[in-house]
């Protein structure tokens, strides 16, 4: 499923603008990450001791390349506007179930970034944020990942 850049924006918490990337996007480098393979990733995303999950939120799977690493660094820097999101076709998506579980299948053996939001409100204040971590897939195996408070890379806009 392809998402427009502004839809990615909503998932990653901002409004549309062009990110300033110094690392050039190399489509050929990224194409190998989109190939069909025999690996899979299962996971769960939650915060606040497991009481709040990523239920019904999009989970993004991005290749662990220099371009994406720069994008992740910009996500961590609240002073940077990265709201335009990564280029279309750079990522795969799935959705968390009510318990915060997600799964990606048919992956090549590569290193990936997994990102999702866990958000909730306390009064008028939004809590939680964007969780991210890397995972290395293995041929014919399922790798499990947990995204929790320790994987928080960006809090909601204040």
More confident residue, 57 or 78: 57
The number of distinct structural domains making up the chain is 1
Q: Which domain holds residue 125?
A: 5-154
Mean pLDDT along residues 25-54: 91
Mean pLDDT along residues 70-74: 88
pLDDT digits (tens, 9 = 90+) for 4-18: 233 333 444 443 344
Residue 95 sits in a domain whose CATH number is 2.60.40.10
For the ranges 47-51, 96-100, 122-126, the maximum mean pLDDT occurs at 96-100
Query: Is residue 131 scored above 50 in pLDDT?
Result: yes
- Per-residue b or e along 119-133, where b marks 16 or more CB atoms closer than 10 Å to that residue's CB: beeeeeeeebbbbbb
Mean pLDDT along residues 107-127: 94
Q: Are 155 and 134 in contact (CB under 8 A)?
A: no
SS3 of the chain: CCCCHHHHHHHHCCCCCCCCCCCCCCHHHHHHHHCCCCEEEEEEEEEHHHCEECCCCEEEEEECCHHHHHHHHHHHCCCCCCCCCCCCCCCEEEECCCCCEEEEEEECCCEEEEEEEEEEEECCEEEEEEEEEEEECCCCCEEEEEECHHHEEECCCC
State the pTM of this model. 0.83
List the one residue out of 110, 28, 27 whose CA is nearest residue 63.
Answer: 110
pLDDT, position 86: 66
Least reliable range by pLDDT among 13-17, 83-87, 115-119: 13-17
């Amino acid at each position: 499923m392809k998402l427009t850049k502004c839809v990615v924006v909503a998932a990653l918490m901002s409004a549309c603008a062009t990110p300033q990337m110094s690392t050039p996007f190399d489509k050929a480098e990224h194409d190998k990450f989109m190939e069909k393979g025999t690996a899979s990733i299962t996971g769960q995303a939650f915060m606040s001791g497991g009481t709040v999950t990523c239920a019904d939120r999009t989970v993004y799977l991005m290749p662990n390349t220099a371009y994406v690493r720069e994008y992740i660094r910009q996500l961590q820097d609240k002073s940077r506007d990265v709201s335009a999101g990564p280029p279309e076709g750079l990522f795969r998506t799935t959705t968390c179930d009510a318990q915060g579980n997600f799964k990606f299948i048919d992956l090549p053996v590569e290193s990936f970034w997994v990102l999702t939001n866990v958000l909730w409100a306390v009064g008028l204040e939004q809590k939680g944020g964007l969780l991210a971590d890397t995972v290395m897939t293995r041929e014919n195996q399922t790798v499990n990942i947990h995204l929790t408070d320790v994987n928080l890379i960006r809090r909601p806009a204040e």
